């Protein structure tokens, strides 16, 4: 199982119950995962964990609010393969710790072997459980939380933004040395909280104070806050896709407003390509902000030409292909009043398989558009992600095996233009060397990921599998 997930953790110094903070936080992070949700709370008698399949709901809240805990963590999850069962949902807990993880480990197969050989009893296929097992083993042998974390996380390769709850009531936030996935902290009076995105702090009226630094851990308990570096600086590799697609536009990630980045992506598209159309139509929701920027720069009006059914999950994060195909039609309806007899400039954030966009172009033509020109705010995705976004094989990526003109024909648009890499970097405003661009350039910040990509690419298409199944 591999996840694109959201995590939240909170500690209340004045002893107030934190369950509502976690509940609100998880509700706000559901765009990062909708298959399951879970909460772990600190109790003197032991860590209590509750999970639900689907969205966080009142039943989970009702089950957990009896504990009146002052420390807790939560998780929303999306699995990309296999059974999306409650058994694999997070947080994953044992007597010593509970863990909520966002990201993917790249060396999970080796770690699993190593832990099994050393006698660890693993119950799930999740790489998050490997982290839990390592941490628990180290905590038992060192008796010191900081030492245990430092020894354990230095054995991990890949992406991990973690929140932990210990059986003595500490809440801990840890970010991997590259800072692939976001993780921030905030404070409000007696409360300290950690979150994948700042919006989950906003909803709790907690002020965003800082981002957890790559290679840093923050431990909070009744004695206050301790911030420690566990890894020496290597290089940062913030995921560009968090800005382009995954995070919510109202989040601030590593000091950048996701809204401003997306707006600039639109501006840069308008500056790079000649833009001539009657109307700009964004594919809702993530492309809306870029369409505003494109409209501002080009002077072409932007309009809502696709109306979204808000009660359908994002197609990209639905696990089955059949579900995805059906969901496009259920999710979007073209507005004839806006589209009829128009030369349309359609803006989308990315092309993965190309099937969704093809259906949308078809819909827009059927609604009467004369021409459909497509602009993509992200450069072509040509290689898998090994760090926690569900782009698992080259075969799932149309740009991995088709040229621009072939993709245009496949999606049946009149033209197709992608953002240039320089336009993307300029919009994000983080130096190229501090970004992960692995899936765009097939050049990964960690050696094991590069090795995996090279190995998978060189296999015949029939033998290509998801990397965690490739032993």
Could you list the residues that contact ligand SF4 (CB under 6 A)?
A: 180, 239-241, 385, 387, 389, 436-439
Q: 59 vs 432, which CB is nearer to ligand SF4?
A: 432
Q: 133 vs 389, which CB is nearer to ligand SF4?
A: 389
Q: 70 vs 377, which CB is nearer to ligand SF4?
A: 377
Burial 231-260 (b: 16+ CB within 10 A, else e): beeeebbbbbbbbbbbbbbebbbbebbbbb
Give dist(CA 434, CA 449) in Å, integer: 17
- With CA atoms as reference, report the closest residue to 30 among 6, 61, 49, 50: 6
- Catalytic-role residue among 5, 184, 239, 378: 5
Q: By the 8 A CB rule, do 375 and 287 touch?
A: no
| DSSP string for residues in 195-240 | ESSTHHHHTTT-EEEEEPPTTEEEEEETTEEEEEE-S------EEH
Q: Sign of the CA dihedral 22, 23, 29, 33?
A: positive
Give dist(CA 183, CA 268) in Å, integer: 28
Shortest CB 62 distance to ligand SF4, Å: 37
User: Other C-beta atoms within 10 Å of 210: how many?
Assistant: 13
**Would you call 239 a catalytic residue per the annotation?**
no
Using alpha carbons only, give the angle 108, 113, 118 rounded to the nearest 5 degrees.
Answer: 125
Q: Crossing angle for the helix pair 321-331 and 355-366, nearest 10 degrees?
A: 30
Shortest CB 219 distance to ligand SF4, Å: 26
DSSP three-state, residue 263: helix
φ and ψ of 347, to 5 deg: -110, 125
Q: 217 vs 240, which CB is nearer to ligand SF4?
A: 240
Shortest CB 288 distance to ligand SF4, Å: 21
Q: 71 vs 183, which CB is nearer to ligand SF4?
A: 183
Q: How many residues comprise the chain?
A: 471
Shortest CB 357 distance to ligand SF4, Å: 18
Q: By the 8 A CB rule, do 78 and 4 touch?
A: yes
Q: 176 vs 216, which CB is nearer to ligand SF4?
A: 176
Give dist(CA 248, CA 220) in Å, integer: 27
Shortest CB 397 distance to ligand SF4, Å: 11
Shortest CB 41 distance to ligand SF4, Å: 31
Give dist(CA 348, CA 345) in Å, integer: 10
Shortest CB 389 distance to ligand SF4, Å: 4
Q: 26 vs 382, which CB is nearer to ligand SF4?
A: 382
Please list the active-site residues: 5
């Amino acid at each position: 199982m591999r996840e694109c997930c959201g995590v939240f953790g909170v500690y209340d110094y004045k002893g107030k119950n934190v369950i509502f903070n976690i509940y609100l936080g998880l509700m706000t992070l559901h765009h990062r995962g909708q298959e399951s949700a879970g909460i772990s709370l600190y109790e003197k008698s032991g860590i209590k964990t509750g999970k639900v399949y689907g969205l966080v709901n009142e039943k989970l809240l009702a089950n957990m609010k009896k504990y009146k805990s002052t420390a807790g963590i939560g998780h929303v999850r999306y699995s990309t393969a296999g059974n999306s069962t409650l058994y694999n949902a997070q947080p994953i807990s044992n007597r010593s710790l509970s863990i909520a993880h966002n990201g993917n480990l790249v060396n999970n197969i080796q770690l699993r072997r190593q832990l099994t050989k050393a006698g660890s009893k693993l119950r799930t296929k999740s790489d998050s459980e490997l982290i839990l097992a390592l941490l628990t083993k180290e905590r038992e042998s060192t008796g010191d939380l900081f030492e245990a974390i430092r020894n354990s996380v230095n054995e991990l390769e890949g992406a991990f933004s973690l929140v932990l709850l210990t059986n003595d009531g500490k809440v801990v936030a840890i970010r991997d040395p590259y800072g692939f996935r976001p993780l921030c902290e905030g404070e409000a009076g007696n409360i300290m909280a950690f979150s994948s995105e700042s919006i989950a702090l906003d909803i709790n009226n907690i002020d965003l104070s800082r981002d957890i630094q790559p290679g840093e851990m923050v431990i909070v308990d009744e004695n206050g806050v301790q911030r420690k570096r566990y890894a020496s600086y290597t290089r940062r590799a913030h995921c560009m896709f968090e800005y382009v697609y995954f995070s919510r536009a109202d989040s601030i990630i590593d000091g950048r407003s996701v809204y401003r980045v997306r707006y600039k992506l639109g501006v840069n598209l308008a500056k790079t390509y000649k833009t001539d159309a009657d109307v700009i139509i964004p594919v809702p929701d993530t492309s809306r902000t870029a369409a505003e920027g494109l409209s501002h720069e080009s002077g072409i009006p932007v309009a809502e030409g696709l109306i979204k059914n808000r009660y359908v999950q994002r197609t990209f994060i639905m696990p089955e292909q059949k579900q995805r195909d059906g969901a496009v039609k259920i999710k979007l309806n073209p507005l004839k009043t806006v589209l009829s007899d128009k030369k349309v400039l359609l803006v989308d954030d990315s092309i993965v398989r190309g099937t969704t966009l093809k259906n949308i172009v078809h819909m827009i033509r059927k609604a009467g558009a004369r021409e459909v020109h497509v602009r993509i705010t992200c450069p072509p995705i040509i290689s898998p992600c090994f760090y926690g976004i569900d782009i698992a094989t080259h075969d799932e990526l149309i740009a991995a095996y088709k040229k621009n003109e072939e993709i245009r024909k496949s999606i049946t648009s009149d033209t197709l233009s992608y953002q240039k890499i320089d336009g993307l970097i300029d919009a994000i405003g983080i130096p190229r060397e501090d970004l992960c661009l692995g899936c765009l350039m097939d050049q990964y910040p960690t050696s094991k990921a590069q090795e995996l990509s090279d190995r998978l690419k060189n296999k015949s298409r029939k033998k290509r599998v998801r990397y965690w199944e490739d032993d």
